[in-house]
């Protein structure tokens, strides 16, 4: 083995029903005296209960998917006006993404309280959308200093949203298997992340209010995000960033749909990764195991169901090809990428994009 691996400096606090106490402790640890709380209107009432003991000077509720630049600028201005010295974000990837946008320009520390399985809280990656283009990058300033994982906060996340968010987490692990900086530690974390999500997500579906499934899923989502943050954004995420930023498709559902097509596309060219994924799913075949899990979860099936138009496939192909990492296990051509997107648009059997003759 020959590799370099960097662990990111971050505290993880995990405990059902303990969000308020853990959050108060982490804010005190930072020495913060003027806190800005970021939470969507849907999360506002719950966030107020969690932050009662914090020195809050501003509650910011303008949160938008894919973090439009104009939304980020208004949030940055609010942080400056209120002379904020720490950010607390409560919610999913959009709330975390907005906090990161503020930290990117200000260096303010973040304490994240996730209520979904998005995983953004465990990465140093940021994303901003201007017009129909989403830009992403990596910067240590945006990594939350601490993360509060409280499974009770995810109980009210509807099952369909939980499924899409959990599959998004699996996508982090799958991309971590062959990301441009993937190493043996990333792949080990990713395999354990998939295993935990395979256990947790079916429990969430069968018992939405049960804590066991929610805890397994949070744990798996965290491991998957850590692996992905180190390995870097691979083929799957390059596709989804274009689809989300350019065509305004819903984040988690887009990842949930595209995932099996990318796995089927790359699996034969990445046998070690495919074997790890299959082992985590406890099946001989990675794609068969993922499809079985998706059927069990009644997962999102087709990009066409979420507003993607087949007429946009050719334009999407050109944008995506410019971003595909050279390290992807299988060469990506305009033709095989077009077939992949068309299959995902229709919701066809993912195996149709595997082992095809290259153009």
Strands 125-130 and 11-14: unpaired
Residue 270 has pLDDT above 70, yes or no: yes
Overall average pLDDT of the 79-97 stretch: 97
Residue 35 has pLDDT above 50, yes or no: yes
Give the chain's mean pLDDT.
Answer: 95
Other CB atoms within 10 Å distance of the CB of residue 188: 14
For residues 38 and 112, state if they share a domain. yes
| Model pLDDT, residue 6 | 87
Q: Which domain holds residue 117?
A: 11-154
Residue 1 domain-assigned (yes or no): no
How many domains would you assign to the chain? 2
| Model pLDDT, residue 319 | 96
Residue 358 domain-assigned (yes or no): no
Overall average pLDDT of the 281-293 stretch: 97
Other CB atoms within 10 Å distance of the CB of residue 303: 28
Residue 340 has pLDDT above 90, yes or no: yes
Q: Which residues pair with 91 in a beta bridge?
A: 114
Residue 156 has pLDDT above 80, yes or no: yes
Residue 192 has pLDDT above 50, yes or no: yes
Q: What is the CATH number of the domain that holds 83?
A: 3.40.50.1970
Of 104, 92, 36, the closest CA to residue 66 belongs to: 92
Q: Are 87 and 124 in contact (CB under 8 A)?
A: no
Q: Are 258 and 234 in contact (CB under 8 A)?
A: no
pLDDT in tens, 38-86: 999 999 888 999 999 999 999 999 999 889 999 999 999 999 999 999 9
For residues 305 and 257, state if they share a domain. yes
Contacts of 208 (CB under 8 A, 6+ apart): 155, 159, 162
Residue 2 domain-assigned (yes or no): no
- Examine the fold and report which residue of 105, 124, 154 is the final residue of a domain before the chain moves on: 154
For residues 205 and 141, state if they share a domain. no
Dig out the tokens for 112 from the structure.
């994240």
Residue 130 domain-assigned (yes or no): yes
Overall average pLDDT of the 273-295 stretch: 97
Overall average pLDDT of the 308-323 stretch: 96
For residues 90 and 178, state if they share a domain. no
pLDDT in tens, 124-143: 999 999 987 888 899 999 99
Residue 320 domain-assigned (yes or no): yes
**Whole-number CA gyration radius for the chain:** 19
Element (H, E) at 194: helix 184-206
Dig out the tokens for 163 from the structure.
């499924």
Element (H, E) at 139: none
Residue 261 domain-assigned (yes or no): yes
Of 97, 108, 104, 120, the closest CA to residue 57 belongs to: 108
Tell me the three state secondary structure of residue 65: coil
- Examine the fold and report which residue of 121, 154, 187 is the final residue of a domain before the chain moves on: 154
For residues 118 and 244, state if they share a domain. no
For residues 51 and 107, state if they share a domain. yes
| Model pLDDT, residue 358 | 47
For residues 94 and 178, state if they share a domain. no
For residues 173 and 255, state if they share a domain. yes
For residues 91 and 181, state if they share a domain. no
Site of tokens 């995990």:
14
Residue 4 domain-assigned (yes or no): no
For residues 133 and 207, state if they share a domain. no
- Examine the fold and report which residue of 154, 182, 209 is the final residue of a domain before the chain moves on: 154
pLDDT in tens, 223-254: 999 999 999 999 999 999 999 989 999 999 99
- Residue 359 pLDDT grade (very low, low, confident, very high; cuts 50, 70, 90): very low
| Model pLDDT, residue 149 | 98
- Integer Cα distance of 22 and 17 in angstroms: 10
Residue 199 domain-assigned (yes or no): yes
- Integer Cα distance of 283 and 152 in angstroms: 31
Site of tokens 């940021």:
126
For residues 150 and 163, state if they share a domain. no
Of 116, 122, 130, the closest CA to residue 68 belongs to: 130
For residues 196 and 344, state if they share a domain. yes
Q: What is the CATH number of the domain that holds 335?
A: 1.20.1090.10
| Model pLDDT, residue 355 | 66
């Amino acid at each position: 083995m020959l590799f370099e691996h960097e662990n990111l400096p971050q505290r993880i606090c995990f405990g059902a029903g303990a969000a308020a106490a853990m959050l108060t402790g982490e804010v005190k640890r930072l020495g913060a005296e003027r806190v800005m709380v970021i939470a969507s209107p849907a999360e506002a009432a719950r966030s107020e209960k969690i932050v009662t003991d914090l020195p809050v000077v501003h509650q910011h509720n303008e949160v938008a998917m894919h973090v439009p630049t104009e939304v980020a600028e208004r949030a940055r201005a609010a942080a400056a006006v209120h002379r904020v010295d720490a950010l607390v974000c409560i919610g999913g990837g959009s709330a975390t993404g907005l906090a990161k946008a503020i930290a990117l320009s200000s260096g303010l520390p973040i304490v994240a309280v996730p209520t979904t399985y998005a995983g953004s809280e465990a990465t140093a990656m940021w994303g901003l959308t201007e017009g129909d283009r989403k830009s992403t990058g990596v910067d240590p300033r945006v990594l939350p200093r601490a993360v509060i994982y409280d499974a009770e906060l995810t109980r009210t996340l509807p099952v369909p949203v939980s499924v899409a968010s959990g599959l998004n987490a699996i996508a982090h692990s799958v991309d971590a298997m062959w990301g441009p900086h993937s190493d043996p530690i990333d792949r080990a974390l990713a395999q354990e992340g998939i295993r935990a999500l395979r256990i947790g997500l079916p429990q969430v579906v069968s018992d939405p209010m049960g804590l066991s499934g929610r805890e397994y899923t949070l744990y798996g989502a965290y491991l998957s995000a850590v692996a992905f943050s180190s390995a870097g954004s691979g083929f799957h995420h390059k596709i989804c960033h274009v689809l989300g930023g350019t065509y305004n498709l819903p984040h988690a559902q887009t990842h949930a749909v595209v995932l099996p097509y990318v796995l089927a596309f790359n699996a034969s060219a990445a046998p070690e990764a495919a074997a790890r994924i299959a082992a985590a799913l406890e099946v001989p075949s990675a794609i068969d195991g993922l499809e079985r899990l998706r059927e069990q979860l009644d997962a999102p099936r087709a990009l066409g169901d979420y507003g993607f138009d087949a007429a946009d496939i050719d334009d999407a192909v050109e944008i995506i090809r410019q971003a595909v990492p050279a390290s992807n296990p299988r060469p990506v051509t305009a033709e095989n990428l077009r077939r992949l997107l068309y299959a995902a648009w229709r919701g066809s059997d993912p195996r149709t994009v595997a082992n095809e003759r290259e153009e």
